[in-house]
Amino acid sequence: MKKLKLLTNKQKCGMSLALLLLTAGSIVLVEYLHRDFQQRLQQQYQSSLSQQLSLVRANIESELNANIFLADSLATIITVNPQSSAADWEKLSETLMLKATSIRNLAVAPDNVVQFVYPLRGNEAVIGLDYRNNPEQLRTVELARQRQEIYIAGPLPLVQGGNAVIARMPVFIDPPANQQYWGTCSVVIDIDKLFTLSGLTVLEQQVRLALRGKDATGASGEVFRGDPEVFEQAFASETIRLLTGSWQLAIALPEHSELKGSTLIAITVRLVGYSLCLLLMLVLLSLFYAYRIARRNSLQDALTALPNRRFAIQMLERLVKSQSDFSILSLDLDKFKEVNDQYGHAVGDALLQAVAHRLQGALRGSDSACRLSGDEFLIILPRVSTEHDLQAIISKVAAKLSDSPFTHQGTAFTIQYSLGHARFPHDAQDLETLLHHADLGMYQQKAAHKAKSE
């Protein structure tokens, strides 16, 4: 006998596909949110680093230019008073150094020969240095002279050791004509101290950093700090504007870098995301399960577990609509009221369950036995179109119902019933007429049984 189906094969395929799509959609959604969250975190991280970079740039500009301006005061004094002495220079230099933050030393070179340096201690080797005998330093001195402006050289190695930025300030004693060249003043800026004070060394610990523009030549200049590849991979860059010229500063993320806490964030996002998706799926499955139970209850008889009238009508309507050949049996128990009155409702219920069980055993897998109401049953027989096939099934049903007496708690009697049948479309072309035809046959048989018993 055909079991009660709540879902057709097509509906089952649809549900399976929906579940698959829901699962795939959940995975895509969680991974998208995870990727989006990481991208936002990366953007925030890069934005924070870009702000730090901008601050470092501003600090370098202010520190470097302020120190050069201080040193330029010495050149101005000499321009005004070319006859000033080393004692005058020392006094002024001492005052300037109190205000300076990263000046390493000041040097005065009349006719391009260093005759004064402050502080002298540690810089004794500079005294007497003739720039004309040092091609690299002479180049920067001459450039300052030719341009008649401050020239920022370096970073470059110093005679006394180390590396520094040197600002060359040409001194002319006939401004503004600037035809009488007196010599040059130089200020040596401690570049390591400058970068420490500006915050560059701290930033350098977090990212890959590079500086280019040696001799203040800007983006076209030589890289003097960091890896040149940083400029190709940079996510942020700044132009450091000097008194004359510029440097370019850029930062890039470290290779194979991973944001601090990103692994924990990834685990958290995925854990929360997949947990919510799983919860949603469980809720949907629970709702679907509840729907199936409700639908089963609406289509199934609670006492016999057979399909009920609603199911039977829906199935018959589908068969009629498809114009399929089928037959129906209308079965009604005889003297059922007497059984209830004589033996009680418990025996009556047991009788109905027994009839349902025997009908299930007599029918094919494609057939359906339904309880319409009380002691009334309807048997639907798809693809049964001939009288011969129909009578064969009727005989099988009769044998199954009558092969043994019904027994229940010491009570035993033979199951008595009346049965009518109808074939579609042989006996009727619509559902109402078909049911009426089967019921008419059943009532005729019931009347005959009653007359016979009297």
- DSSP letters for 127-176: TT-BGGG-HHHHHHHHHHHHHTS-EEEEEEE-TTSSEEEEEEEEEESSTT
Per residue in 92-130, pLDDT (tens digit) is 888 888 888 888 889 999 999 999 999 988 888 889 999
Give the span between the Cα atoms of 439 and 431, in whole angstroms.
12
Query: With bands split at pLDDT 50, 70 and 90, how would you rate the model's confidence at 9?
Result: low
Per residue in 269-283, pLDDT (tens digit) is 677 777 777 787 788
Per residue in 217-256, pLDDT (tens digit) is 999 999 999 899 999 989 899 999 998 899 999 999 887 6
Q: What does the pLDDT read at residue 142?
A: 92
Environment class of 232 (CB within 10 Å of its CB; exposed 0-12, middle 13-18, buried 19+): exposed
Evaluate whether the domain defined by 1-299 bears CATH number 3.10.20.30. Answer: no
> What CATH code is assigned to 309-453?
3.30.70.270
Task: Say yes or no to pLDDT of 376 above 80.
Answer: yes
Strand order of the β-sheet with 223-225 is 223-225, 208-212, 246-252, 236-241
Pairing of β 376-382 and β 246-252: unpaired
19 or 238, which is more confident? 238
Q: What does the pLDDT read at residue 23?
A: 77
b/e per residue, 140-168, with b = 16+ CB within 10 A? Answer: bbbebbeeeebbbbbbbebebeeebbbbb
Task: Say yes or no to pLDDT of 160 above 60.
Answer: no
Intervals of CATH 3.30.70.270 along the chain: 309-453
Task: Say yes or no to pLDDT of 37 above 60.
Answer: yes
Where do we find the tokens 């240095």?
129
Intervals of CATH 3.30.450.350 along the chain: 1-299
DSSP states of 86-128 as a string? HHHHHHHHHHHHHH-SSEEEEEEEETTB--EEES-TT-GGGTT
Name the pTM for this structure.
Answer: 0.56
